[in-house]
Amino acid sequence: MVKRLVLVLGDQLSDTLSALREADKSEDIVVMAEVAEETDYVDHHPKKIALIFAAMRKFGAALEKDGWTVRYTQLDDTENAGSIVGELLRRAEETGAEEVLVTEPGEWRLIDKLRHAPIKTRILSDDRFIASHAEFESWAKDRKALRMEYFYRDMRRKTGLMMDGDDPAGDKWNYDHDNRKPAPDEVDASGPMQFTPDETVEEVLDLVEARFGDRFGDLRPFHYATDQGQARRALSHFVKHALPRFGDYQDAMMEGQAWLYHSILSPYINIGLLDPVEVCRAVEDAWKAGDVPINAAEGFIRQIIGWREYIRGIYFLEGPEYAQRNALGHDRALPAFFWGGETRMNCVSQAVSQTREHGYAHHIQRLMVTGNFALLSGLDPQELQAWYMASYIDAFEWVMSANVIGMSQFADGGVVGSKPYVSSGNYIDRMSDYCKGCAYSVKDKTGENACPFNLLYWHFLDRHRDRFEENGRMGNMYRTWDRMDEDRRKTVLDEAEVWLKRLDAGETV
């Protein structure tokens, strides 16, 4: 029998991986490698690199303990080839292997490299996801609009999660109207379970600090789970302590409260330490036991089997060029305050500083603060996606493209969203306590102290009127704008232009 190499990537740390199931433990050789090509295609947050490397090392050790032969390359190994394909060729020469088995990567970039590798490579489907590519394509075929809600219902039916026969539990598919409460006066959850770094993690932290210590993002303190056992403990902790109020406050934002009632499980799911259906079953069980209200359980499950599956489906359906779309023609450079520079906008400052510290911000901070600002001010969507890829510990291209290019920036022209997600400062004021600590006044619509979101909101609508005026969900916005006094409209647009010029000049805004 010809020896084969079994490539296991850093986001494929799952016992049930299709490549491992296909392989022969007694003959085939597992290859795992920490390589510069993967750490450097964007400047990943140091915590993200540390999480993946530490989890990879522990997973490789677990495979060896289970009887696999593992060839593991650390980043600072002198023989490191510097790329995934390079490491495969090096190991093939060492072992005489003539074929590679690999589960499909989650990025077109790496799929292309493996398809063109100078060694026979079999790319197997990644069946850790609920919907296969063929299933998503079948669902999408002949639909005028690819809206997540209808796909989500099919995923509920397929998994049986929170179903009563053919009907949704509680007779409703969606309890989102119950999940929009503003920031509470106080948070009575302590946040996600934190883990003290062991010897393996400390070795990785030292390596990352030496190699990537000058990148955007704080490496220490590091408290994330790095193996399956820890990740499952983090899941149990969330279900018991935070899930009961997750639904109510999932859209809320508070100063000094990075976690609120969020799970912080996405990094573990995305690198394979937790199975998405396993996570959803734990949430469903808590609801069935009466420990969790239905709006919390349904809202959480929708994020995983609905939104997570949907954005992956869009990424692979639309193809490699999807991430390069720019339907609105936005080209403004990313301001320095996205990398920690000074800004007078407290909401943006809070979201960025939290991102720098934890490699994490929840979905509303990403969509309605940094994403909303980027869309209103016309930032280049590819630069923005690169920032999200670099900044977040759960970021992979299949995750980020439909979220940033589609949902956040409308750069795909409406594949994901039926309208752009833009708002004035009123939304942020309603859902957070950020505005009361801001140098700008959210109540001021014009003038020196006017909230920039207020000015830029109308500026965005005005400059894209030809595209959005006939959009049924945006008609009221344009009617409100048209009812304003002409001088008022001119003042708003003029002040927005002045503000944008200051932004372009690199002034503190």
Q: Three-class SS string for 298-364?
A: HHHHHHHHHHHHHHHHHHHHHCHHHHHCCCCCCCECCCHHHHCCCCCCHHHHHHHHHHHHHCCCCHH
Statement to judge: residues 139 and 45 lie in one domain: no
Q: How far apart are CA 316 and CA 337, in angstroms?
A: 32
Statement to judge: residues 291 and 349 lie in one domain: no
Q: What is the DSSP string of 19-46?
A: HHHHS-TTT-EEEEE--HHHHHTTT--H
Q: What is the DSSP string of 415-453?
A: SS-SS-----HHHHHHHBS-GGG-SSBTT-SSSTTB-HH
For residues 234 and 192, is the Cβ–Cβ distance under 8 A? yes
Chain-wide mean pLDDT for the chain? Answer: 97
pLDDT at residue 79 tops 80: yes
Statement to judge: residues 188 and 110 lie in one domain: no
For residues 360 and 258, is the Cβ–Cβ distance under 8 A? yes
Q: ∠ CA 252-459-470 to the nearest 5 degrees? A: 90
Statement to judge: residues 173 and 266 lie in one domain: yes
Statement to judge: residues 49 and 138 lie in one domain: no
| pLDDT tens for each residue of 215-228 | 999 999 999 999 99
How many Å is the Cα radius of gyration of the chain?
24
pLDDT at 48: 98
Statement to judge: residues 290 and 419 lie in one domain: no
Q: Which domain holds residue 166?
A: 133-192+242-318
pLDDT at residue 330 tops 70: yes
Residue whose token pair is 């407290």: 346
* Tokens standing for residue 141: 């075929």
**Residue whose C-alpha is closest to residue 314's, from 173, 148, 149:** 148
pLDDT at 2: 72
Statement to judge: residues 455 and 385 lie in one domain: yes
| pLDDT tens for each residue of 236-288 | 999 999 999 999 999 999 999 999 999 999 999 999 999 999 999 999 999 99
Q: Average pLDDT of 28-41?
A: 98
Residue 481 lies in a domain: yes
Statement to judge: residues 344 and 285 lie in one domain: no
pLDDT at residue 328 tops 90: yes
Residue 493 lies in a domain: yes
Statement to judge: residues 390 and 433 lie in one domain: yes
User: In CATH, what number is assigned to the domain containing residue 299?
Assistant: 1.25.40.80
Percent of the chain residues topping a pLDDT of 90: 97
| pLDDT tens for each residue of 123-165 | 999 999 999 999 999 999 999 999 999 999 999 999 999 999 9
For residues 324 and 267, is the Cβ–Cβ distance under 8 A? no
Band of the pLDDT at 1, cuts 50, 70, 90?
low
Percent of the chain residues topping a pLDDT of 70: 100
Statement to judge: residues 164 and 293 lie in one domain: yes
Q: Average pLDDT of 387-404?
A: 97
Q: How far apart are CA 378 and CA 397, in angstroms?
A: 22
Q: CA-CA distances (angstroms) from residue 88 to 18, 119, 129? A: 18, 8, 26
For residues 59 and 18, is the Cβ–Cβ distance under 8 A? no
Band of the pLDDT at 177, cuts 50, 70, 90?
confident
What element of type H or E holds 7? strand 4-7
Q: CA-CA distances (angstroms) from residue 190 to 72, 263, 287, 296, 362? A: 37, 11, 21, 18, 16
pLDDT at 398: 97
For residues 224 and 393, is the Cβ–Cβ distance under 8 A? yes
pTM summary value: 0.96
pLDDT at 414: 95
Amino acid making up residue 179: N
pLDDT at 179: 86
Statement to judge: residues 151 and 280 lie in one domain: yes
Work out how many domains the chain is built from and give that number: 3
